[in-house]
Structure 1
């Protein structure tokens, strides 16, 4: 493959520390490179040096003549008074940019819900990120250098971005360099992984899962003393290999080698013991939402807007659930009902007598009272021990040991809270919450500012936490890793997702397609006027809502479909269990079971589509 970009003998220093020492690395046509490593080890600095945005202290970066490099930085900067449309296409006339398929695809995929002539300053952080991506991706580049491109994006936007990058260049053309902590994205897009550590850049073949295997093998062969880090990586590999077939089939490594490495690694979570402890701490009743609806008044018009409609959900002791939904769908409202900060407009919320709910929010309010205190002083005032694990594996850890487990060094214990990095503050915030010993834990975007190693450490800690866990996160990997089931908020209702995130994306795609067939723009939050008709469907009138007997018939059919989908979920789980227990050499028998599974999945997909059609009619 042709050479595009190279770095030779790069050296970079910051006060009191050397970041890189004589690093030599190259980028060729067809490379899709994910850059991983601990926060502060130099991932973004390396990306910016390769992209020509930062000069090394010594060494040089060279590129093939005429190579065009597009850069996305972590912060999205726009001129004052900039509008959405001008930021993306500039002064180019519509008849010109609308004739470029790439530009039309980018606009349709990222900004159709945004006001084309609206001010960027009026947009949310996630919306501004999408505009910045659209501005970059609308251009023609030989190399894309992306620094945390998934920050502030929801699951749908991340899935679209991954698909776009996979199709953007023909095979063995173009190159991608991406710094991200989103491990699903790394596995989906990258064919090479660079680990930045200890002043060097170490390349690995394959995406994140393949990198984890090779790192474990490297550590084992070299007898590396970093036992804790190795154990976390091996545990994560075990989950990757035992996870969904779509994931386990992607990495380019030998399955036999992977199975040998994880042969002595136990299941990720001891679910029976954790469930037993959760029942002992919580009793049989946790939080029950019974036909709970929530409406808010519009401050301008005074009209009521319903956010959640007749939600029925009974949280079980030890339940580990992920919540999905587009921005504005009502996820925060649902969490407010669970933690008691919000009361339903109608319906009821019942809580068990022993329930203690704690929430890790996207803010850092819990740290404000400790802002000027060293970390050591903060933990000295906490409880003396914290129990992790269950049964014979249970162990008591001091706050100091908990901090060490979450990546704090002895030197950082003397640092004031206000001087910690964002990721360190986030970890300390979680520690304060956990040491309060809640039995219902809500995590709202817990992965912000955490690198891949710290995410693995957090996942390991949550594996041994005995309580009911609710997670809202756009990090698909983390969500699937720490929860056992997922729900989505669709059409103001809470919908179980037997197929997980993939099913949610299918439902949202079907919802958008149904909206386009009805002549309306795809459902999404945004401004009053969206992108031009050349890049999005023209608006029209939606299908009329049902009334009277027709409405009652449709509601009954909807309830019947929901009952059947729940039954299909049980049947699919039983088929998976039969498949796992079946003689793996009996190919004919396995084939018959596989056909049975395919039939159930096809029926579920058909009924889900009908569920969406009925939901639209009942709006």
Structure 2
């Protein structure tokens, strides 16, 4: 592959701290590189040096002649007086850019719903970020450097961006370097991973899953003995190997040794044990919404919604921006009262919400981190372990020196971690997390997930991070902006299919003749040919399939009910070996039921 750009023996320091030292590396055509590492280890600095935005203290960066480089930095570089249209396409005539399929795709994928004639000054921070990303992707750069491109994108936007980058160049063309905490995105897009740590860079083949496996293999070969890091890595490996098969398809190295490491690792969560503990803490009733409606201003957020949270339930919430996800959390937390319907909270419910606003730490800004945690208690229970404040802080990335830092001097990611810790040690039994992954690096995310695995209570998570949702929640629901809450037996993938179907239904019909370019310009993308309608014979077959699947589902539900009764009996008798086997069988039935529900939905759509 042809060389695009490279660094020769570069180094840079800030004050007395060396951030990068003696690095030599390069980007070749076809490279799709993800930069990972802890906050503050130099990922963004390395990207800025390679992109030519910052000069190293030592060494140099070279480029092949004629190579065009595009950068999405974390700084806002848009002219507030520009219109959105001019910010993205510049002085190009409408008929020129409107006839460019790539530009139309970028505008539809990132700026759908925005008025192209409004000025940048009137946009929110998230909208400005998406405009900056759209301007970059509308160009024809040979190498793209993206610093946290998924920030301010919802699940659908992240999926679109991944698809765009996968298709932007041929596999042997172009170069991409991306810094992101979104692990699903890293796996979907990247074929190489650079881990930045201790002023150096370690390269790995593959995306996030490959990086985790390779780290475990290297640790095994070097006989690393640090217990905390090993346990976190083993748990993460167990999750990756039990997840979708595609997660382990990219590594080029031998993984048998890594598999041996996790052979005796239990499931990430002991579901039966956690459910029993949650029921003991919460009772049978948690929070029930029955036919609830809620309007804010002139917008209908919820319309006749029924939702029941059970003890120990782990629910993920996805949805379009502005659909009311955060409002739903406020309603469940008791901060809002519905306009109509019935809302019932269990008598023992103690809820807590991690909001997107870290101002909740303002009251302790003058204290040191260790002092804040000491105020909360002298010992904390995490799963079956009792931990001191210092141990808990270290588990979530606060080393000994950072524990004595004033809260006012913490970074955004550190404030987020401390905010979550304060909530957890307050011992709520219903925990609601609103975009908990903001500002957290991948290692910290793994540590947060480890804490949540052992937390016995009901959990509701709103996030655009697909990896986190699939990792810490057992099922998901969607808010699509129409006031309804839809179950997603097929998970986030089903949500994306629903959104794609909604977009296809809403797309204008393509017109023919001279007005094509103008119509495309106004609508930011032409319509698609409607799918042919099903024949009557196909509908009949679909209805038969629905009846057959319903019978199968009824049988499975009956079997599962019997197993749940058996599990309760075994738990009371403390026959845990038998309980484990019955629990595993119940899990298999649940997976089979999910699969049948998907088949039923597909048949129902065909039946009309």
TM range (shorter): 0.7 to 0.9
Question: What does residue 431 of structure 1 align with?
Answer: 421
Please tell me whether the aligned partners of residues 103 and 138 of structure 2 are also in contact (alpha carbons under 8 angstroms): yes
Distance 2:83 2:230 in 1: 48
CA distance in 2, matches of 1:164, 1:605: 27
In structure 1, what is the equivalent of residue 287 of structure 2? 287
Q: Distance in 2 between matches of 1:145 and 1:76?
A: 15
Partners of 1:216 and 1:378 lie apart in 2 by 34
Does 2:398 correspond to 1:404? no
Task: Give the aligned partner of residue 591 of structure 1.
Answer: none
Q: How many equivalent pairs are there?
A: 553
Q: Distance in 2 between matches of 1:367 and 1:598?
A: 44
Name the residue aligned to 1:157: 157
- What displacement does 1:294 show? 0.4
Contact 1:116/1:532 (<8 A) preserved: no
Contact 1:112–1:531 (8 Å) recurs in 2: no
- Match of 1:536, SS state, is coil
- In 2, Cα distance between equivalents of 1:437 and 1:459: 17
2:376 pairs with one of 371, 379, 382 = 382
In structure 2, distance between residues paired with 1:608 and 1:85: 38
Local SS of the residue matching 1:533: helix
Partner of residue 307, structure 1: 301
**1-structure distance, mates of 2:13, 2:489:** 50
Instruction: Kindly state the Cα deviation for residue 411 of structure 1 after the two structures are TM-superposed.
Output: 1.2
Which of 476, 481, 488 is the equivalent residue of 2:466? 476
Deviation digits for residues 580-606 of structure 1 (CA, Å, limit 9, x no counterpart):
xxxxxxxxxxxxxx9999886444234
Query: 1:41-52 residue pairs with structure 2 within 5 A?
Result: 41-52=41-52
SS in structure 2 at match of 1:53: coil
What does residue 6 of structure 1 align with?
6
Equivalent residue of 1:13, what SS?
Answer: strand
SS, match of residue 54 in structure 2? coil
CA distance 1:297–1:534, change in 2 (3 Å): closer
Alpha-carbon distance in structure 2 between the residues aligned to 1:312 and 1:461: 30
| Cα contact 2:490–2:598 (8 A) shared by 1 | no
1:42-69 deviations in whole A, cap 9, x for unaligned?
0000000000000000001101110001
Asked whether the 8 Å contact 2:6–2:27 carries over to 1, the reply is: yes
User: Residues of 2 paired with 1:495 and 1:133: CA distance?
Assistant: 31
Task: Give, in angstroms, the shift of residue 226 of structure 1.
Answer: 3.6
- State how far apart, in whole Å, the 2-side matches of 1:23 and 1:356 are: 51
2:532 maps to what in 1? none
Query: Partners in 2 of 1:136 and 1:411 — Cα distance?
Result: 40
Question: Residue 531 of structure 2 aligns with which residue?
Answer: none
1:318 and 2:312 matched = yes
Identify which range, 246-255 or 125-134, moves more after superposition.
246-255
Q: Distance in 2 between matches of 1:569 and 1:398?
A: 49
Structure 1 stretch displaced more, 504-513 or 97-106:
97-106
Quick check: 2:489–2:597 contact (8 Å CA) kept in 1?
no
Is structure 2 residue 369 aligned with structure 1 residue 369? Answer: no
**Counterpart secondary structure, 1:359:** strand
The superposition leaves residues 385-443 of structure 1 with CA deviations (integer Å, 9 ceiling, x where unpaired) of: 21111xxxx12112222111111112122211000111111111111111110000000
Q: What residue number does 2:351 align with?
A: 357
The answer for unaligned runs of 5 or more in structure 2 is 512-518, 528-542, 564-590
Q: Distance in 2 between matches of 1:439 and 1:596?
A: 29
Q: 1:489 to 1:162 in 2, by over 3 A?
A: same
Shift of 1:103: 1.4
Partner residue of 2:340? 346
| Cross-structure match for 1:421 | 411
Identify if the C-alpha distance between structure 1 residues 515 and 484 changes in structure 2 by more than 3 Å, giving closer, same or farther: same
What does residue 523 of structure 1 align with? none
Q: Shift of the alpha carbon at 1:199?
A: 1.0
Partner of residue 498, structure 1:
489
Cα 1:599/1:317, change in 2 over 3 Å: closer
SS of residue paired to 1:372: coil
Please, which of 472, 485, 502 is the counterpart of residue 511 of structure 1? 502
In 2: Cα distance, 1:509 partner to 1:597 partner: 21
Q: CA separation in 1, counterparts of 2:601 and 2:255?
A: 31
Structure 1 position 568, deviation (Å): 8.9
Asked if the contact 1:320/1:482 (under 8 Å) is kept, the reply is yes
After TM superposition, list the pairs within 5 Å mapping 1:205-284 onto structure 2: 205-254=205-254, 256-284=256-284
- Partner of 2:602 in structure 1? 605
Other-structure match for 1:461: 451
In 1, the alpha carbon distance for the partners of 2:551 and 2:86 equals: 46
- CA drift at 1:373: 1.2
* TM-superposition CA deviations, 1:470-495 (whole Å, max 9, x none): 00011111111111111111321111
Change over 3 Å in CA distance of 1:511–1:565 after alignment to 2:
farther
Q: Alignment RMSD, CA only?
A: 2.8
Q: 1:376 to 1:257 in 2, by over 3 A?
A: closer
1:113, 1:531 within 8 Å by CA — same for their partners in 2?
no
Aligned equivalents of 1:498, 1:155: Cα separation in 2 = 17
C-alpha change, 1:113 and 1:165, in structure 2 (3 Å) is: same
- In the alignment, the residues of structure 2 paired with residue 102 and residue 386 of structure 1 have an alpha-carbon distance, to the nearest angstrom, of 53
Residue 110 to residue 531, structure 1, CA distance change in 2 (3 Å): farther
Segments of 5+ residues of structure 1 without an aligned counterpart are 299-304, 521-529, 539-556, 578-593, 614-619
Query: Is the alpha carbon distance of 1:484 and 1:600 closer, same or farther for their aligned partners in structure 2, counting shifts above 3 Å?
Result: closer
3-state SS in 2 of match to 1:343:
coil
C-alpha separation in 2, matches of 1:80 and 1:532: 23
Whole-Å separation in 2 of the counterparts to 1:52 and 1:174: 17
What displacement does 1:19 show? 0.6
